[in-house]
Each structure stands twice: as C-alpha cells, then as structure tokens.
Amino acid sequence: MSRSARGLRHHRGFGVFCATRYSEHAELTLVLVLLGVLVALAATVTLAREAIESLGDLHVAVQDAVERGGGPVRVYRDDEVGRLAADFNALMARMERQRQQAVQIALRAQESERLRISRELHDEVGQSLTLALHLVRRAGERSGTTVPAPGIDAIGDTVSEALGTVRSISTQLRPGALDDLGLVPALHELCQRITESTGLVITTGLQRPEVVLPDELQLVLYRIAQEALTNVVRHAEARTVTLVFRHHEDYLTLSIRDDGTGRAGPPGGGMQGMRERAAMVGGELSAVSVPGQGTLVDVRVPVEPGGVAR
C-alpha cells in the first residue's frame, strides 16, 4: 500500500471517530437539555401550586373578614401573599380612620345645625306663636264682653297646639335640660316625655357623675339613649325598659334593656349611628338581641379621672 493510500485511510478513520464522538456529544447535550426542561417544569409546577395555595388562603381569609362584618384579613405568611394582605389591611385601616373622621365631622356639623334650628324655633317661631296666642286670648276676652266672635276659642286652641309642637321639636333637636342642668336631669326628662307620649314604662337607675363631663360627651350619651329608646318605641313592641347610667373609676356605662321581641337581623342605620357616636368619644357600643326576650344596648366610654373622654 502506498503512502498516500495509508494517509487517506487514516483521515477516513479519524473522520469516523470524530463523527462518532460528535454524535455522542449531541445526544448527551440533548439529554441534558431535556433534563433541564423537566426540572424547570417541575419547579414551575411547584411554584404555581404554592402560589395557588397562597391565593386560596387569601381568598378564605377575605371571606372570613366579610362574614365577620369587616376587620383585618387574617393571613399569617412570610411571603408575597402575606405582605399583600398586610398592605391591604393597612390600606383598609387608613380608609376606616378617614371614614370615621368624616362621620365625626358630619355629626358635629349636624349637632351644630340642630342647635341653630332649635334656637330659631324657640326664639323666633316660639315667641311669635306666644304673642299670637296672647292676642287671640285678648280678642276672645273682649268679644266675650261685647259681640260674640265664633271661632276665637278654636283659633286659640290651634295656636296653642302649634306652640306646643314647636316647643317639642325644639326640645328634640336640642334638649334645654342638657345644656342647663346636665346629662342625668336631661335623661330623666327624656324618659318622662316618652312615657307620657307612648305609655312605655321606663325604669331608671341614673347615677350623677362625680366629675364634670365634657359637653360633647354628655351630648353623645344623650343622643344614644334617645335613639335607643326611639328604636324600642318603633320596633321592639316592649312593655318596659330599664335605663341605667353609671360612673365607674375610669369609665362610664350606659345601658338600655327592653323586654320586647328582640328583633334579629343585621344592624340598621340607627344602630350604626349610635356606634359612630360612641366612637366619637373613644367609646364602644354593643347590642345583643334575644328573640322573645328583648334587646340590650350597652355603651362603655373610658374617661380620665378629670372626666375627659380618652
């Protein structure tokens, strides 16, 4: 065999060897790529499963918060979902504070407007009706001695009734006893007025506070008692009510208990309004209804030793 033939055979053998090695390397590379893809898919599936489970926990926590009527979303996880829940709770807490501030501003504006209207009814309309009643009575006295004037007595009765209505509305808008005498006398007057107009028997246990309470605190407690008693008259079908006010060492309590139907169901606007009023002075209001036994509305307001609401 010539030298050129041996060289050609050598090159062919080397080419076959290289082709074989390349084929083996390609197969190994393909296997490694497939293994990498499988590992990536497995990792993706695992991460997706964990994410879905985390979102499931979040969904359950949101449903729980809705069923509780609000409050924080209870998700205790040290991951993105946990941080998302924490951010959501912080946002909701900030919105709730802003809502309460807006409600307090609206309630204070409402009380200011009630005071203005009450004074105008008392000073303007009330005095005008009083003068009209006086003139009608004088006219009736004069007509009685000379020429009879039919209808004078009826006019006097109508003006007197209108005057009584104006005074009643003025008192409901802003009770004079609250400004002049304080909370306990105003509550006594409120109970007496409701008993006279509805026949509802109201038993009171009212303790005079040992310190001077702020005007806003007294007004809040009075409005809560007024709203609670109004709800009893309108909805409870009760025969008796017990109203108790106590001043403890560092808190006040006001409770209204009736023996009515104990109407069940979600709290209405009146109950929400009472809760918001209590929150204005740092207090809490709870209401418990038992079907057939009645409802208990209980208010607790913390106070400093000097009588200022905390």
Range of the domain at 257: 182-310
**Rounded to an integer, what distance in angstroms lies between the CA atom of residue 210 and that of residue 132?**
45
Closest C-alpha among 111, 81, 307 to residue 214: 307
Query: CA-based diameter of the chain, in Å?
Result: 168
Q: What is the number of residues in the chain?
A: 310
The conformational region for residue 282 under phi > 0 = left, psi -120 to 50 = alpha, else beta, is left
Q: Could you please report the per-residue DSSP string of 70-84?
A: S-------SSHHHHH
In a domain, 42, yes or no: yes
Q: What is the reported pLDDT for 225?
A: 95
Contact 206, 252 (CB under 8 A): no
Q: Low-confidence residues of the chain, pLDDT below 70?
A: 1-26, 31, 45-62, 65-71, 77, 81, 122, 140-151, 264-269, 305-310
Give the count of domains, the chain. 2
In a domain, 269, yes or no: yes
231-285 per-position pLDDT tens digit = 999 888 899 999 999 998 889 999 999 999 887 445 565 788 899 889 888 899 9
32-69 per-position pLDDT tens digit = 777 777 777 777 766 666 656 666 666 666 677 666 66
Asked which of 26, 56, 75 is the last residue of a domain, the reply is 75
Residue 288 is part of a domain; what is its CATH number? 3.30.565.10
In a domain, 186, yes or no: yes
Only one residue has tokens 């400093």, namely 304
Asked which of 75, 106, 124 is the last residue of a domain, the reply is 75
In a domain, 38, yes or no: yes
User: What is the token pair recorded at 72?
Assistant: 């924080």
Q: What is the reported pLDDT for 14?
A: 47
In a domain, 116, yes or no: no
In a domain, 299, yes or no: yes
Which helix (H) or strand (E) segment holds residue 254: the answer is: strand 251-258
Asked which of 43, 75, 107 is the last residue of a domain, the reply is 75
In a domain, 175, yes or no: no
In a domain, 111, yes or no: no
pTM (2 d.p.): 0.64
Q: What is the reported pLDDT for 292?
A: 87
Q: What is the reported pLDDT for 164?
A: 78
